């Protein structure tokens, strides 16, 4: 897996988005406009975590390599070296996709 060009701080995670395939009907491509589905991506880098009010570091539960879901409009999208990345807080992550046991 390619290393992230961004080092996240705090409870932030850097995500490489997984491109959705456009739906087709015959030879007609149906764009995915107007659908507010969450973004899916692979975690490339994880910050150390957040500090609570007592000064204790609470490490992130998300790990590099996991595939996660983030809200389409709840995270920052940045472009570095002509590649697009999503930066989101661990609290913004909707969930982690579990791998199938049969793979």
Q: What is the pLDDT of residues 36-54, one digit of tens each?
A: 667 889 999 999 999 999 9
Give me the pLDDT at residue 18, please.
87
Q: How far apart are CA 64 and CA 68, in angstroms?
A: 10
Average pLDDT (50-75) is 91
The predicted model scores a pTM of: 0.78
Domains defined along the chain, listed by start: 12-96 (2.30.33.40)
Q: How far apart are CA 42 and CA 44, in angstroms?
A: 6
Task: Decide the pairing of beta strands 23-25 and 50-51.
Answer: unpaired
Give me the pLDDT at residue 67, please.
93
Beta bridge partners of 77: 86
Q: How far apart are CA 4 and CA 34, in angstroms?
A: 30
Nearest Cα to Cα of residue 12 among 68, 54, 82: 68
């Amino acid at each position: 897996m390619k290393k992230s060009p961004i080092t996240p701080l705090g409870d932030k995670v850097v995500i490489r988005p997984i491109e959705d395939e456009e739906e087709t009907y015959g030879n007609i491509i149906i764009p995915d406009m107007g659908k507010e589905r969450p973004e899916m991506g692979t975690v490339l880098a994880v910050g150390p975590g957040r500090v609570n009010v007592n000064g204790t570091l609470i490490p992130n539960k998300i790990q590099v390599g996991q595939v996660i879901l983030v809200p389409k409009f709840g995270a920052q999208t940045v472009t570095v070296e002509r590649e697009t990345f999503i930066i989101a807080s661990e609290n913004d992550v909707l969930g982690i996709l579990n791998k199938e046991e049969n793979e």
